[in-house]
Structure 1
Amino acid sequence: MYGTIGARLIHLGLQPSPKSAQVLVAAVASRPDIVDRNGELLATDLKTFSLFAEPRRILDVDETIEKLSTVFPDLEYRDVYEKLKTGKGFVWLRRQLSPGQQNQIMGLGLPGIGFRQEKRRFYPSGPTASYVIGLTDRDNRGISGLEKYLDDQGLTDLQSLGLASDLQPLQLSLDLRVQHIVRDEAMQAMENFRAIAAGGVVLNAKTGEVIAMTSVPDYDPNFPESALDKDRLNRMSAGLYEMGSTIKSFTTAMALDSGKVTLASTFDARQPIRIGAQTIRDFRGKGRVLTVPEVFICSSNIGSAREAEVVGVEAHRSFLQRMGLLDRLRTELPEVAKPTEPPVWKKVHSITAAFGHGFSTTPLQTAVGAAAFMNGGRLMPPTFLPRTIEEANALSERVVGARTSDDMRYLYNLNATAAGGSGKGGAVLGYRVGGKTGTAEKVVGGRYSRDRNFNVFLAAFPIEDPKYVILTIVDEPKLQGSSRAATAGVSAAPMAANIIRRAATMLGVTPDFTLQ
């Protein structure tokens, strides 16, 4: 009898491992930590245990389910019953248990029930940078944000080869401190103005590094199901909007860079422009001839349309494309929308595009384009990874001349300091901030609505040699104590000012309180 048993054991030992056993001993895929530019932890792996069953070894299915229900009250009886009756060698029952749940199940002493050690992604900062960092699925594979970027760069291949252990952390260009401030200000703006959403981005104008970017409402990646809640969208890179009067920055820069217009040029804004069925009017018109600085400060639709007429339809579209507003943005973040534009550009499209109507782009692209006006004229793709100035210059493309960049810095500064300038809401004591507002009426039912605005503010500082560009958005804000729509000057501009006031010293910009 002992000889028979011994022979059988030897025979079994020589057999290949069954598939279920191979699943149990398979190496658990690891992911590298993600840290901010200062080494602060943003994402890491934690050990966890998942519950499995070997149906062929279960003696009493009903009793097993009944006992498991004492630990998992939400257990679906029929679903588990069908799994345990299959006779398979391995089935999952519940992934990523808490230590308490694991201990309770072990105390039940159920045959055919076991645990497998896995890795679960943990995000110490919670929702602070959720749209940028992204998510992993229950198998620890990246499905959004920079988690997906990691997999797309070859992490999945390393995992399949068993080479994904002890990987170096992925360092981002984000500064967690500034990220927290931008998110906090966006949350406050959304609440104070009863808006449906808000967001912001802080961009290094000299390198293209994204220092902070947020969109609210957001979600906590530690509870990934919250990402499916209503209105969860990264509006900064995946939302498409008519960007309103911020686009006048591009129109004015285009006119100046064409060589046909200077700061001393004038445009007749005495009468509305009628083209086809369209009538172009100014929101608060002066009813007179305007200089280029006045067109910019007064945010004249008529003046901007005249600037576009000087350049021409084809050159206008070509300029917007060169500035990156009409093509899908190139960056590490997967969630990037492709802008929309008229299938064929005609004069009417050029005129309306001059003041931000008729084509849609993302807020992030608008900030990237504006950065080129501030840094001397070089457009560089944004990055969520650290980048030096030398690397940025090698990747960049000159899109406007240095003289145009000087003129645009002058206009941004003038708009924030001159009487009647729309950028005055972004002023911060001790810092020289330039800016441009954009209050865009949203299209509702095929028509522009006076009750729903998409508000934008573009800011740059220190304006004499800007290192940072900040763009803030507030979607459908309402005036406090009223149902009327708020403008960018009272909603998005103060939000940018608060970000600068709180974050400037963290960004290495020292205040000068002798400035007026």
Structure 2
Amino acid sequence: MTRTPLRPLARILSAREKGENPDHIERENIRLRAEVTRASSQTRAEGRLLLLGLAFFAAFTVVGARMGLLAASEPMEPRTAATGQEISGRRADITDRNGRLMATNLSTHALYAHPKQMVDPARVARELAVLFPDMNASDLERRFTDGRSFLWLRKKLSPEQMQSVHDIGDPGLLFGPRDMRLYPNGKLAAHILGGASFGAEGVHSAEVIGVAGIERALDTRLRDPAQANTPLALSIDLTVQSTMTEVLEAGMVMMNAKGAAAVMMDVHTGEIIAMASLPDFDPNDRPSPLLKGDPADSPLFNRAVQGVYELGSTAKILTSAQAMELGLVNADTMVDANAPLRWGKHKIGEFEGKNYGPLLSVTDVIVKSSNVGTANLALKIGGDRQQAFFKTMGLFDPVPIELSEASTAAPLIPKRWADIVTITTSYGHGMSVSPMHLASAYAAIANNGIKLQPTLLRRDRAPEGRRVLSEANAKAAASMLRQVVTRGTASMGEVEGYEVGGKTGTADKVKATGGYDKGKNINTFAAMFPASDPQYVIVVTLDEASENTGPKPRRTAGWTTVPVTAEVIRRTAPLLGLRPKIDYAPVASAASATTPVE
């Protein structure tokens, strides 16, 4: 910007020549400069006033629009703003294979207190203690008056309890909405579902997390907001589960057992159709775990998966099947069964001192459950090949099934695999596995030699498995198991029309101090049905069972576990859609009928 001088020299010289006063020129320039400055300031002021006016207009427009929206909307209870991530209590439902509900969410309320807002803390404490017997009035009053500003009182309230608390009428008692996990079938399938509890909690919501079973194993899937409206479909059939549990519970009582477990598996898909462990619990009111003593005494203990036992003679069919697969024998090969068998300082005998020798066919080794015959087969196989086969059958690793407890239930394997270990493990002693392991191994035999991974999730089609036996040898093994029922140690396992095949196993329990307790057994029956075309495998285990109707207690699986398993099959096979095969006697023709006496 060019500034004009107040006393321009040319004009001053000209004014002096004319006799004029040069000061007039300076005053005139000052006046002109002041007018320019005043005009510029006025323009700037007018612009600022315009901008300020527009700003006020916009602000009042926004405020007016917001007030209009609030006046037109439904009234809401104001909430206190909180920092941090929002707590989501949503969790997907769980159903059985047919869509029947096993676990869902229920809207309820929690009870909390603002002690500083209470009118009469002593009265509130007394009345709450009456409503909730597990609360102590004096303890509540102490906590209400010790200066704290917030206190959780109950995580879950029924509608009746909520109304009763309302009736107390103190402003310091408040309710927070939340979802809780509900298991509408109570104890049914408790060990499969496991249970859930609250994680992160806020006044207006609480996080629901799985604490055991499939609720914990698939917690991420169940809490995924994108799948919250898609139920998790299990392989379990609730009708079969209920029937099997009912029979198992009655059998446990009748056989004076302290515990029981059962697993039923579809051999063609690997799906677990039913799984039970007794004693059980209600996941709606999950008990606390034991802090001392034997974990197996807790109802939370899943005997079907966590219980690893020496499953006795049920392992013999695995030894025979491997020997046939290696080409060492066939079903009719005669083997040495002369008892007792001496191996170093060890003596291998038969049940009750029997001797089935000198020779037995491989089939009769299984039918008569010969320890000596099985031991001689195992010695032909050798320890290295025996271990490799057991690994192939999944008996050396935890079962890869969708239960949080499964990963911690590893089989108990001998550290050194000497020849005597090869002998004893061939007939189910010296190595401990779970009923689920055994069911998976038997399913491989029943599935024509193809082993599938067991699962608790519904499968729409059969997965590809791994061949562990040839089809011919698998069928031969299944035929042996059928003969165990028709003429062997499992005669009480016959169910008319369903061709049951299976193998009994009786093993002495291991003492905590070492050695075996001869008066306490684990009794097992592993079966498949129908044996001519196996569809399902079932394994039933009774802990310390004893059949006491005779002159002396009978503790073997043939007397205890087998009849219980037979009743499970008798009642569940029709539910599974299996039609019985019944051979009817031919009806005599009219011509051959006896002529009546006149």
- Equivalent residue, structure 2, for 1:441: 508
- Residue type matched to 1:231 in 2? S
- Residue type matched to 1:349 in 2? V
Partners of 1:155 and 1:164 within 8 A in 2 = no
- Residue type matched to 1:303 in 2? G
Distance 2:144 2:522 in 1: 54
SS in structure 2 of the partner of residue 141 of structure 1:
strand
- Residue type matched to 1:222 in 2? N
- Residue type matched to 1:510 in 2? R
- Equivalent residue, structure 2, for 1:12: none
- Equivalent residue, structure 1, for 2:60: none
SS in structure 2 of the partner of residue 114 of structure 1:
strand
Mapping of residues 461-476 of structure 1, within 5 Å: 461-476=529-544
Tell me the alpha carbon deviations over residues 143-190 of structure 1, each in whole angstroms, 9 at most, x when there is no partner.
011111231x3444x3xxxx3785211111100110011101110111
Does 1:299 find its partner at 2:369? yes
Deviation at 1:513, TM superposition (A): 1.4
Deviation at 1:137, TM superposition (A): 1.3
Partners of 2:390 and 2:396 within 8 A in 1 = yes
SS in structure 1 of the partner of residue 277 of structure 2:
strand
SS in structure 2 of the partner of residue 126 of structure 1:
coil
Does 1:415 find its partner at 2:460? no
Partners of 1:179 and 1:213 within 8 A in 2 = yes
- Equivalent residue, structure 2, for 1:427: 494
Does 1:31 find its partner at 2:91? yes
Deviation at 1:338, TM superposition (A): 0.5
- Equivalent residue, structure 1, for 2:357: 287
Structure 1 length normalisation: TM-score? 0.89
- Equivalent residue, structure 1, for 2:441: 369
Distance 1:21 1:489 in 2: 68
Mapping of residues 1-12 of structure 1, within 5 Å: none
Partners of 1:39 and 1:171 within 8 A in 2 = yes
Distance 1:39 1:303 in 2: 49
Between 398-407 and 187-196, the greater mean CA deviation after superposition? 398-407
- Residue type matched to 1:437 in 2? T
Distance 2:80 2:366 in 1: 70
> CA distance change for structure 1 residues 282 and 165 in 2, over 3 Å: closer, same or farther?
closer
Distance 2:311 2:149 in 1: 58
Between 278-287 and 303-312, the greater mean CA deviation after superposition? 278-287
Does 1:378 find its partner at 2:445? no
- Residue type matched to 2:283 in 1? P
Partners of 2:124 and 2:168 within 8 A in 1 = no
Between 264-273 and 306-315, the greater mean CA deviation after superposition? 264-273
- Equivalent residue, structure 2, for 1:5: none
Deviation at 1:60, TM superposition (A): 4.3
- Residue type matched to 2:569 in 1? I
Q: 1:514 aligns with which of 583, 586, 593?
A: 583
- Residue type matched to 1:334 in 2? S
> CA distance change for structure 1 residues 28 and 48 in 2, over 3 Å: closer, same or farther?
farther
- Equivalent residue, structure 2, for 1:8: none
Tell me the alpha carbon deviations over residues 328-356 of structure 1, each in whole angstroms, 9 at most, x when there is no partner.
11011111210011112111111110110
Deviation at 1:479, TM superposition (A): 1.8
Distance 1:115 1:49 in 2: 6
SS in structure 2 of the partner of residue 454 of structure 1:
strand
> CA distance change for structure 1 residues 188 and 267 in 2, over 3 Å: closer, same or farther?
same
Distance 1:414 1:461 in 2: 13
- 5+ long unaligned stretches in structure 2: 1-77, 200-207, 586-598
- Equivalent residue, structure 2, for 1:64: 124
Partners of 1:218 and 1:227 within 8 A in 2 = no
Does 1:141 find its partner at 2:141? no
- Equivalent residue, structure 2, for 1:91: 151
Does 1:49 find its partner at 2:106? no
- Equivalent residue, structure 1, for 2:396: 326
Does 1:253 find its partner at 2:325? no
Distance 1:19 1:39 in 2: 38
Distance 1:243 1:73 in 2: 46
- Equivalent residue, structure 1, for 2:269: 207
Does 1:350 find its partner at 2:413? no
Distance 1:497 1:313 in 2: 35
Distance 1:259 1:104 in 2: 76
> CA distance change for structure 1 residues 46 and 180 in 2, over 3 Å: closer, same or farther?
same
- Equivalent residue, structure 1, for 2:335: 267
Deviation at 1:63, TM superposition (A): 3.5
User: Which structure's relative contact order is higher, taking Cα pairs within 8 Å and 6+ residues apart?
Assistant: 1
Distance 1:83 1:164 in 2: 42
Structure 2 length normalisation: TM-score? 0.77
SS in structure 2 of the partner of residue 463 of structure 1:
coil
Partners of 1:127 and 1:219 within 8 A in 2 = yes
> CA distance change for structure 1 residues 476 and 59 in 2, over 3 Å: closer, same or farther?
same
Deviation at 1:403, TM superposition (A): 1.8
Deviation at 1:226, TM superposition (A): 7.1
Alpha-carbon RMSD:
2.4
Between 133-142 and 113-122, the greater mean CA deviation after superposition? 133-142
- Equivalent residue, structure 2, for 1:278: 346
Q: 1:492 aligns with which of 555, 558, 561?
A: 561
- Equivalent residue, structure 1, for 2:179: 119
Distance 2:108 2:81 in 1: 19
Partners of 1:368 and 1:381 within 8 A in 2 = yes
Distance 1:70 1:295 in 2: 68
Task: Calculate percent identity across the aligned residue pairs.
Answer: 37
- Equivalent residue, structure 2, for 1:11: none
- Residue type matched to 2:501 in 1? G
Q: 1:340 aligns with which of 401, 412, 427?
A: 412
Tell me the alpha carbon deviations over residues 206-225 of structure 1, each in whole angstroms, 9 at most, x when there is no partner.
11000001011101112212
Does 1:456 find its partner at 2:528? no
Distance 2:553 2:345 in 1: 28
Partners of 2:119 and 2:170 within 8 A in 1 = no
Deviation at 1:511, TM superposition (A): 0.7
- 5+ long unaligned stretches in structure 1: 1-17
Partners of 2:218 and 2:402 within 8 A in 1 = no
Tell me the alpha carbon deviations over residues 101-154 of structure 1, each in whole angstroms, 9 at most, x when there is no partner.
111111112122200111122212111110001101145311011111231x34
Mapping of residues 218-237 of structure 1, within 5 Å: 218-225=280-287, 230-232=297-299, 233-237=301-305
Between 251-260 and 79-88, the greater mean CA deviation after superposition? 79-88
Distance 2:565 2:390 in 1: 25
Partners of 2:221 and 2:227 within 8 A in 1 = no
Deviation at 1:227, TM superposition (A): 6.8
- Residue type matched to 1:84 in 2? F
Partners of 2:215 and 2:222 within 8 A in 1 = no
Does 1:128 find its partner at 2:197? no
SS in structure 2 of the partner of residue 105 of structure 1:
helix
Distance 2:430 2:254 in 1: 30
Distance 2:222 2:151 in 1: 27
Tell me the alpha carbon deviations over residues 215-254 of structure 1, each in whole angstroms, 9 at most, x when there is no partner.
1110111221277694311101110100000010111111
Does 1:176 find its partner at 2:243? no
**Between Structure 1 and Structure 2, how many residues are aligned?**
488
